[in-house]
Chains A and B, each alone.
Chain A
Amino acid sequence: MANEENAFGELIQDYIVECLPLAEAVADTFVELERRWQHGDSGGDLLAPVKGQLHTIKGNSAMMGLTPPQNVAHALEDLCALLGDEPARRGEQAAALLVRGGGLLIELIRGAASGADAEAAAEFVDRVRSFVGARGGSPGDISPDTPDRRSNDRRTGDRRKLAQDRSANVVRIDFRRLDAMLEVLGESMMEQESVAELYRRLSRKVGAIDELVDLDRALVALQKTLKRLESLLMETRLLPISSVFNRFPRLVRDLAQAEKKSVRVVSSGGELPLDKAILDRIGEPLIHILTNAVAHGVESREERARAGKPAEATLDVGHAGLMIHRATPGSATSGGVRVPAPTSI
């Protein structure tokens, strides 16, 4: 991408921080929208706010000179406008386009700092253009700031303001730096222990003189301070487990579609804080478990119909465990395959 040439190129990380959560929200909304349409629900309440989020992504991308995400956001914006105006166009093809676009937008924004796939963006925009063109419009058409969009933006803005309020005192830091700080702290604690050992030897040799009593107090205070520092530093490494869970709805949707199954992900306990190093490690095994769950734990639509189950299976993802519900009324969804909790992986 050409952001290096853009006057605001040095703000690329700020761009990612602001736009990535918006893109993730957009992509999640599209997955949910597809699900709603499959259940005969128009999902009108979902379509409106997403347009504001797309508009913001488009504007920010344009400011950064990032044409691929700008064009994809623009195409999605127009696709949403079309689907809002013409409910008859909602369906499998439109949903697939939306979901693909949401995922692509995340990829493009996530990869903005290192360059992204402009071809994939162009190919997607062409697909949207063909779809929208059946009506005569085009994603190249300008979507002005209509009053309707402004009211949508306001709702989006309310949510964004909440996020901004929370992030007002937040600074970003390279995780490797936190690792280095932890290493230095570990060394400090060992050095403190060496001094404490020296104190004990000295104390045995010369007895309880005033200076050694003072040294003892100072060493105890230093140990407490280092412990406090360790606990604060460990806290800075914590991220909510939802940062991993949030990837699952789109992933499972794609897996299920490939298997010609209907599976919905419901996650709970996403607020549980975990060390980022652990989160980095559990992501892939969890994906493996989910893949197996969809492939082997969920029956085909026909089998589910024969068993009198709803067509759609539910995958409950939580930090206490991950399971597919047993076939009981209310939450009955599948054959009851249990998989180990993430902690036992």
Chain B
Amino acid sequence: MANSFLVIDDSKLHHQMYKLVFTKGSLAGSTVYYASNGREGYALLAAHPELSAVFLDLNMPEMNGLELLERRRSEKLHPHIPIVLVTTESSPEDEARGRAAGAWDYLRKPFQPADLERIVGRALAQAASRSA
């Protein structure tokens, strides 16, 4: 089955950036869902238990990244899906809060396609080892 990803970011520019990475190289053919805020993102997360990974922006309208993580943890929604929190210059305290709320990893902006591919590779490897 093809890998599938969820991008939750309020920037259309960032959606385009993810699209560039997910349509090239080893990730070409992946299914990618996009949401523009935490609320939409949470609904998509709930609807897609097969997701390989989620890329979640920290600062968003309606429901921010931390709020989404906290809700997901309290509702125990698909805890097997790794969620990567994407931030710009987050403080160590923010990172700690994010990890405590269930962020699987961090991706700091500005990132390069290789950074994204690397983190996806680790998420897929983890999923493979879990199902082995």
- A150-B58 in contact (CB<8A): yes
Known interface pairs A14-B12, A161-B37, A164-B10. Does A8 touch B88 (Cβ–Cβ under 8 Å)? no
- B110-A59 in contact (CB<8A): yes
- Complex: A157 Cα to B59 Cα, angstroms: 8
- Complex: A240 Cα to B64 Cα, angstroms: 33
Known interface pairs A14-B13, A63-B110. Does A142 touch B89 (Cβ–Cβ under 8 Å)? yes
Q: Name which of B14-22, B43-51, B76-84, B124-132 contacts chain A.
A: B14-22
For B13, give its contact among A11, A58, A65, A157 (CB under 8 Å): A11
- A154-B64 in contact (CB<8A): yes
- B10-A63 in contact (CB<8A): no
For B87, give its contact among A7, A8, A145 (CB under 8 Å): A145
- B58-A160 in contact (CB<8A): no
Cβ contacts under 8 Å, B91 to chain A: 144-146
Chain A residues bordering chain B, tally (CB within 8 A): 33
- Complex: A19 Cα to B11 Cα, angstroms: 10
- A7-B58 in contact (CB<8A): no
- A55-B88 in contact (CB<8A): yes
- Complex: A153 Cα to B10 Cα, angstroms: 11
- A10-B13 in contact (CB<8A): no
- Residues 91-110 of B contacting A (Cβ, < 8 Å): 91, 94, 109-110
Using CB atoms, name the residue of chain A closest to B63. Answer: A154
* B26 interfacial by beta-carbon distance below 8 Å: no
Using CB atoms, name the residue of chain A closest to B17. Answer: A8
- Complex: A15 Cα to B20 Cα, angstroms: 14
- A14-B59 in contact (CB<8A): no
Cβ contacts under 8 Å, A8 to chain B: 16-17, 20
- A63-B94 in contact (CB<8A): no
- A59-B109 in contact (CB<8A): yes
* A60 interfacial by beta-carbon distance below 8 Å: yes
Cβ contacts under 8 Å, A262 to chain B: none
Chain B residues bordering chain A, tally (CB within 8 A): 27
- Complex: A10 Cα to B113 Cα, angstroms: 13
- Residues 42-100 of A contacting B (Cβ, < 8 Å): 52, 55-56, 58-60, 62-63, 65
For B12, give its contact among A18, A58, A63 (CB under 8 Å): A18
- A7-B109 in contact (CB<8A): no
Closest chain B CB from A3 CB (angstroms): 12
Known interface pairs A7-B20, A63-B110. Does A161 touch B13 (Cβ–Cβ under 8 Å)? no
* B62 interfacial by beta-carbon distance below 8 Å: yes
Cβ contacts under 8 Å, A65 to chain B: 110
Contact with B along A137-159 (1 / 0, CB 8 A): 00000111110011001100110
Using CB atoms, name the residue of chain B closest to A58. Answer: B88
**Which of A7, A18, A52 is the most central at the interface, judged by chain B CB atoms within 10 Å of its CB?**
A7
**Which of B11, B17, B62, B90 is the most central at the interface, judged by chain A CB atoms within 10 Å of its CB?**
B11
Known interface pairs A59-B109, A157-B59, A161-B62. Does A143 touch B13 (Cβ–Cβ under 8 Å)? no
* B112 interfacial by beta-carbon distance below 8 Å: yes
- Complex: A153 Cα to B94 Cα, angstroms: 16
Closest chain A CB from B53 CB (angstroms): 19
* B29 interfacial by beta-carbon distance below 8 Å: no
Using CB atoms, name the residue of chain B closest to A156. Answer: B61
- B110-A144 in contact (CB<8A): no
Known interface pairs A62-B110, A145-B88. Does A150 touch B17 (Cβ–Cβ under 8 Å)? no
Closest chain B CB from A111 CB (angstroms): 18
- A157-B110 in contact (CB<8A): no
- B58-A158 in contact (CB<8A): no
Cβ contacts under 8 Å, B60 to chain A: 153-154, 157
For B94, give its contact among A17, A144, A158, A160 (CB under 8 Å): A144
17 contacts between A and B (CB under 8 A): A7-B20, A11-B16, A14-B12, A18-B11, A58-B88, A59-B109, A60-B11, A62-B88, A63-B109, A63-B111, A65-B110, A145-B58, A145-B89, A146-B91, A150-B58, A154-B60, A161-B61
A-B complex: 5 closest residue pairs judged by Cβ atoms: A157-B61, A144-B91, A62-B110, A153-B59, A59-B88
